[in-house]
Amino acid sequence: MGSTPRASPSLQCLTGDTNNAMRTYVIQRLLLAIPTLFGITVLIFVAMRVLPGDPLKTIYFEGGGARILSEEEYLEARKNLGLDRPLYIQYADWMIDVFRGDMGRSFWHQKPIRETIQRRGTITVEYALLAVILSWVVGLPVGLIAAVWRNSWVDYVVRFFVTLFMAIPSFWLGLTVILITVLVWSWRPPLGIVHLWDNPVQNMQIILGPAIVIGVAMGAILARMARATLLEVFREDYVRTARSKGLAERLVVVRHALRNAILPVLTISGLQLAALLGGSVAVERAFSVPGLGFALVKGIQERDWVIVQNVVLLYGVVFVFINLAIDLAYGFLDPRIRYG
């Protein structure tokens, strides 16, 4: 997660009427997203077809009593799934499915992909959002405390735990948590998907585990980031001015420093969220949560091209929009930035 071109010159042009410029900027960004998304679809479309391993042979081997198709049967089954048509037609077909909204059907279970994405996606979005919220709730105050009392023992303790939690593999932590709950209390979170609106308690039991494990790791990164930026901001002129003006330290921190320090934190959080929505596969597996990441990995393993294509495309769309949202948020929080 390196620095993205936040500082690219086009952002900092100070000309033009704000509203208008903003609209142009958004449109410009969306137009720029089109080649990216196109690139993603082509890349994944080709990648799935280049991968060794044929979905058909796979399907019939698994379910049909470990049986292998004859050449003739194989060609028939291929035709049945429309895989005998030229590639560009298959691609166009997929695009039509995407724009129609059902995204095609899975080779394996014949269900529309939209259904899978809705069901799985809900869980993933839930724990991702919860993890981000958690990381803010934990990370920001901790970073703030460490920055205000820098080089005190509080700071050292905070930094120690921050560094530690950044280093612990989250899936390992998750696995250990599950093992402990199973061994000590003979309890584990419900398997399968229970939606928030069906049974909030069970739903929370499912998503709380991944949310906490990921949230803690993200919170550590956030705390570190917050501390670093706050320290930088404290050195800035306007903070010094505010202090010399005799403003209470609390007000200095909240009104001036925090407001400025929040931008990089926001960026990191946004990027983390985008990455999380793609599904934190290992954590999902550790908790046996059937989220989007799980579906995607299974799709790759089963060579269920349709689901992989759509989830990756969805991921690309989310990524583009979150990035755009971050940039727009900059405009609201930092009056120095204009869009033109």
Nearer to another protein (CB atom), residue 247 or residue 275: 275
**Per the structure block, which two tokens stand in for 171?**
């899936």
Tell me the closest approach of the beta carbon of residue 125 to another protein, in angstroms: 15
Tell me the closest approach of the beta carbon of residue 34 to another protein, in angstroms: 10
Which residue matches tokens 């050292």? Answer: 156
Nearer to another protein (CB atom), residue 256 or residue 303: 303
Q: What is the distance between the alpha carbons of residues 295 and 314, in angstroms, rounded to a whole number? A: 13
Query: For residues 334 and 54, is the Cβ–Cβ distance under 8 A?
Result: no
* Amino acid of residue 219: G
Nearer to another protein (CB atom), residue 215 or residue 316: 316
Tell me the closest approach of the beta carbon of residue 274 to another protein, in angstroms: 8
Map residue 2 onto helix, strand or coil: coil
Query: For residues 295 and 304, is the Cβ–Cβ distance under 8 A?
Result: no
Nearer to another protein (CB atom), residue 7 or residue 201: 7
Q: What is the distance between the alpha carbons of residues 333 and 282, in angstroms, rounded to a whole number? A: 35
Tell me the closest approach of the beta carbon of residue 272 to another protein, in angstroms: 12
- How many helices (H) and strands (E) in the chain? 14, 0
Phi-psi region at 147: left, alpha or beta (left = phi > 0; alpha = psi -120 to 50): alpha
Which residue matches tokens 């909030």? Answer: 200
Nearer to another protein (CB atom), residue 59 or residue 138: 59
At CA 268, angle to CA 311 and CA 21, rounded to 5? 85
Tell me the closest approach of the beta carbon of residue 241 to another protein, in angstroms: 21
List the alpha helices (DSSP H) in 235-258.
Answer: 237-244, 249-251
Tell me the closest approach of the beta carbon of residue 228 to another protein, in angstroms: 6
Nearer to another protein (CB atom), residue 247 or residue 325: 325
E-assigned strands of the chain? none
At CA 315, angle to CA 314 and CA 321, rounded to 5? 90
Tell me the closest approach of the beta carbon of residue 292 to another protein, in angstroms: 10
Nearer to another protein (CB atom), residue 18 or residue 214: 214
- Provide CB contacts within 8 A for 203, sequence distance 6+: 126, 194, 195, 196
Nearer to another protein (CB atom), residue 195 or residue 243: 195
Q: What is the distance between the alpha carbons of residues 154 and 294, in angstroms, rounded to a whole number? A: 40
Tell me the closest approach of the beta carbon of residue 134 to another protein, in angstroms: 20
